[in-house]
Amino acid sequence: MFRHVARWFARARSVQHALETLLPAPENTLVILPSTRSALALARRLCDFRICGVTAGPITTQGIWRLARHVRAPQEIVIACTDFAELQFIVISFPDQIVGNEVTFAPIPFLGSSHWFSTFEAALVVKHRPRVYALQSDSLVQIRYDDVLHSLPDLMARLLRPLELELMDPPADWLAARCLTQKSESGVRSRMREDLKEIECLLRLHARSVGCDRLKTSTAIAAVVSRLKMLGAQ
């Protein structure tokens, strides 16, 4: 119990320290946080005092965190700042909650295995060169990145290093465990397998339709089934 109380005080102090660091700074910064209750509370406090853009994801869009007015899709944040040399608002990113493997994602080593993370933070850093802060062990640390700007994987690894260190021993209030599992290679394969099964279902329904091009449909079904076998689904 004493450890919990001590941890609570440490968190409260770290939130206060973070606010004292971020609020007075004249320029807008990029803040990379883990999806924990305390970090979400910090984001909420920041949004009360400054204009902020919080990355949208399954956790930040939940009404309980009262971030609805500040939440934006990563692409929207990039577009909003694209015509300017500097960030137009404080950008608060929660990378561990965002799941995907499209072209805007890249696999990087994380917690001992490959995980797919969005290149959003790296894109902002390369374009605008903001100060970047991250929460690590209940304290705000600044991330230096000038020496890794030439390499996207190295830059992403540098930006996410504090998050990785934080999640080596995840805090009790960390909320993105399921999201992180889906970001792993096995999670990505599992999602791809399920998407392909759905496409196979729709193709097989289409194969029974009047006016269906049987050759194209059977070729597509065979290609999907073959890909599923590679993913170990059949």
Cβ closest to another protein, residue 100 vs residue 153 = 100
Provide the mask over 162-201, with x wherever binding to another protein is found by CB under 8 A and - wherever it is not: ------------------------------xxxxxxxxxx
Q: Rule CB under 8 A: say whether 224 interacts with another protein.
A: yes
Q: What is the 3-state secondary structure (H, E, C) of 123-170?
A: HHHHHHCCCEEEEECCEEEEECCHHHCCCHHHHHHHHHHHHHHHHHCC
For residue 218, the SS3 value is helix
Looking at the Cβ atoms of 13 and 204, the one nearer to another protein is 204
Residue 44 or residue 227: which is nearer to another protein going by CB? Answer: 227
Q: Is 106 in the site for another protein (CB under 8 A)?
A: no
- Nearest residue (CB) to another protein, 139 versus 190: 190
Window of 46-54, 88-96, 107-115, 209-217 that interacts with another protein by CB under 8 A: 209-217
- The CA-CA-CA angle for residues 181, 30, 141, to 5°, reads 80
Between residues 21 and 190, which has the closer beta carbon with respect to another protein? 190
Report how far Cα 119 is from the mean position of its chain's Cα atoms: 9
CB of 53 to another protein, least distance (A): 25
Q: Is 213 in the site for another protein (CB under 8 A)?
A: yes
Q: Which of 102, 146, 168, 169 binds another protein (CB under 8 A)?
A: 102
DSSP codes of every residue in 171-216: -TTB--HHHHHHHBHHHHHHHHHHHHHHHHHHHHHHHTSTT--HHH
**Closest approach of another protein to the CB of residue 217, in Å:** 7
Q: Give bridge partners of residue 223 from the DSSP assignment.
A: none
DSSP state of 88: S
Q: Determine the Cα–Cα distance for residues 123 and 10; give it in Å rounded to an integer.
A: 33
Minimum distance from residue 30 beta carbon to another protein (Å):
26
Closest distance of CB 107 from another protein, Å: 13
Sheet architecture: strand order including 71-72? 71-72, 52-55, 90-93, 30-32, 132-136, 139-143
Minimum separation from the CB atom of position 219 to another protein (A): 5
Q: Which of residues 23-82 bind another protein (CB under 8 A)?
A: none
Round to whole Å and give the CA distance between 130 and 153. Answer: 19
Q: Which stretch binds another protein (CB under 8 A): 30-38, 82-90, 91-99, 206-214?
A: 206-214
Which residues bind to another protein, rule: CB under 8 A?
Answer: 101-103, 192-213, 216-217, 219-225, 227, 232-233
